[in-house]
Structure 1
Amino acid sequence: MSPQQYCQQKTRESGSSFTLSFMFLPKEKRDAMTALYAFCREVDDVVDECTDYQIAQTKLAWWKQEVHRLFHETPQHPVTQALQPVVKRFNLQETHFIEIIDGMQMDTQYNRYADFEQLALYCYRVASVVGLLSAQIFGYSHPATLEYAHDLGMAFQLTNIIRDVGEDARRGRIYIPLDELERAGITEEQLLNSKPSEQMQALLLKQIERAELFYDKALNQLPKADIKPQLPGLIMAAIYRALLQEIKPEPNLVLTHKIMLPPFRKLKLAVSAWFKYRK
């Protein structure tokens, strides 16, 4: 199996909606995004699969060394081997890959976030940085496109947090800022026990409102000249925003259910966005 085939397999196994947008890219960029996404899956799997803190830290430290080898020596892992021509071709920065790993390390260190400032740093590292790397692969001509990519990454991660509130609670994790829980009159125990209430619904609606503001901010910043090259991100925005709209009427459902869009609807949204932004 070649490094690129390994990345393709890793990406297929994830079942993520993000990979749907790759089909609209030319082969060189599609392969680059597949390798980048496979890297994100590898380091994220360390957190998901390692219950021992020291083992997780050791594995993430290895990945930092592997990123150094990617940029300065000879990488050992199939994913970084696939990334080697990508980082050169698209002038990707080593610091961004390190920041992604730093975000994963936060997941091993914290299962609570005191306020949105702390949560925003986590979202930046695990999502906005990926958005910045993706924007470089897609191509852009205006610096404002990087601001768009940053804010769109924030919106995506906040959407994931809202969708996964119940699932994360069952793993003992809370990504809603604790000061916002307190102001809403909700205890950690109530959230961890997935206890629905009017207060919980109001709190979740506020989280949805924040995510929607980041979508609006991102889309308003994207220069017209860069709409076509950034089409994959716009496709994902259409799908993820539709997911938020699905959650919004009954937000308490995320406490007990993982709300998802059917594959056909996601494909329909992707095609619709493609036609909308190709004009």
Structure 2
Amino acid sequence: MTATATATALPADEAPALPAAGSSFYTAMRLLPKERREAMYAVYAFCRAVDDVADDGGAADVRAAELDRWRADVDALYAGKPPARVRDLVVPVQRYDLKRADFHAVIDGMAMDAFEDIVAPDEATLDLYCDRVASAVGRLSVRIFGMPEALGIKLAWHEGRALQLTNILRDIDEDAERGRLYLPREKLAAIGLSDPTPQSAIAHPRIGEVCAAVAAEAEAHYAETWAIIAKSPRKPTKAARLMAAAYRLYLVALLKRGWAMPRARVKPKKLALVAVALRHGIV
């Protein structure tokens, strides 16, 4: 349910490749029936293409123009005149009642990264970012999964934030190299960083306190995710269950590693990921 993965930019009318085999997203989508799986791949391709604009789309004015073209393409899709690069979304939009506002939210989330690097956003801005780049994708996804409306929207809200906060914690060093810092301003101020740069923040001796606080928020969202799943029909939550369980393994690994430098890149053990796939791959 997250759209933050990056890839080499592709020509405008070409769809990105399918998710990498072996990734938790790929495994989760493989659990879906063919029609739903193909719909999710179409949404994934849209998200990857828009994400490429934000990360690898050239100068700011070029990125702005291209994101505007994506917005226009989404509008044309809903007007019944889809350009070639969104044509794979025609059937999913019609079959699963996907909302135009969620596609626009994804574009708006990528725009937050496209024009200037995010550095220590306030809590409200960070939450908006998580909603756009992750929970909006979740709202599209739960409709494809076939979840009941109210529970699906609530699940997308919590699981999207859980996954995105996990991504932020996992990638703090890589993001800093790109000039980005997604840790919230208020938590950084609490350890004495009132005007942080990405590098000053990740090297701060008390950065672990900030990361632990963000991890606690992610844990709370995971807890809400599982509470919603427990109240939901089992079959439509299969992919969401696998994603939540797999991503939480990353959070557990981060907490076990700690935040002192040098921070090794974490990856859950293969056997743990296999166990998650086996447990949640069975209805």
1:184, CA displacement in angstroms?
Answer: 1.6
Residue identity in the other structure for 2:196: E
CA contact (8 A) 2:143 2:149 kept: no
Work out the number of aligned pairs and report it. 268
Q: Secondary structure of the equivalent of 1:179?
A: helix
Q: Does 1:252 align with 2:259?
A: yes
Residue identity in the other structure for 2:203: K
1:82 to 77, 85, 88: 88
Residue identity in the other structure for 1:195: A
CA contact (8 A) 2:76 2:82 kept: yes
1:208 to 201, 209, 215: 215
- CA separation of 1:255/1:28 partners in 2, compared to 1, >3 Å: closer, same or farther? farther
After superposition, the C-alpha distances for 1:148-204 in whole angstroms (9 at most, x for unaligned) are 12110111111111111111111110100112111122462474574262x111211
Deviates more, 1:225-234 or 1:128-137: 225-234
Residue identity in the other structure for 1:104: M
Name 1:3's counterpart in structure 2.
Answer: none
Name 1:274's counterpart in structure 2.
Answer: 281
CA contact (8 A) 2:119 2:181 kept: yes
Residue identity in the other structure for 1:188: P
- CA separation of 1:165/1:14 partners in 2, compared to 1, >3 Å: closer, same or farther? farther
Percent identical across equivalent pairs? 32
CA contact (8 A) 1:169 1:192 kept: no
2:160 to 138, 153, 157: 153
Q: Secondary structure of the equivalent of 1:222?
A: helix
Q: Secondary structure of the equivalent of 1:249?
A: helix
Q: Which runs of 5+ in 2 are unaligned?
A: 1-13
2:46 to 35, 39, 44: 39
Q: Secondary structure of the equivalent of 1:230?
A: helix
CA contact (8 A) 1:170 1:192 kept: no
* Cα-Cα RMSD: 2.3
Residue identity in the other structure for 1:26: P
CA distance in 1, matches of 2:21, 2:245: 20
1:183 to 179, 187, 190: 190
- Match runs of 1:194-233 below 5 Å: 194-195=202-203, 197=205, 199-222=206-229, 224-233=231-240
1:112, CA displacement in angstroms?
Answer: 2.1
Name 1:60's counterpart in structure 2.
Answer: 67
After superposition, the C-alpha distances for 1:253-272 in whole angstroms (9 at most, x for unaligned) are 68744322355643332222
Residue identity in the other structure for 1:242: L
Q: Which runs of 5+ in 1 are unaligned?
A: 1-5
Q: Does 1:91 align with 2:97?
A: yes
Q: Secondary structure of the equivalent of 1:92?
A: coil
Q: Secondary structure of the equivalent of 1:252?
A: coil
Residue identity in the other structure for 1:100: V
Residue identity in the other structure for 2:211: L
1:113, CA displacement in angstroms?
Answer: 4.1
Deviates more, 1:213-222 or 1:62-71: 213-222
CA contact (8 A) 1:145 1:223 kept: no
Name 1:167's counterpart in structure 2.
Answer: 174
CA distance in 2, matches of 1:270, 1:123: 26
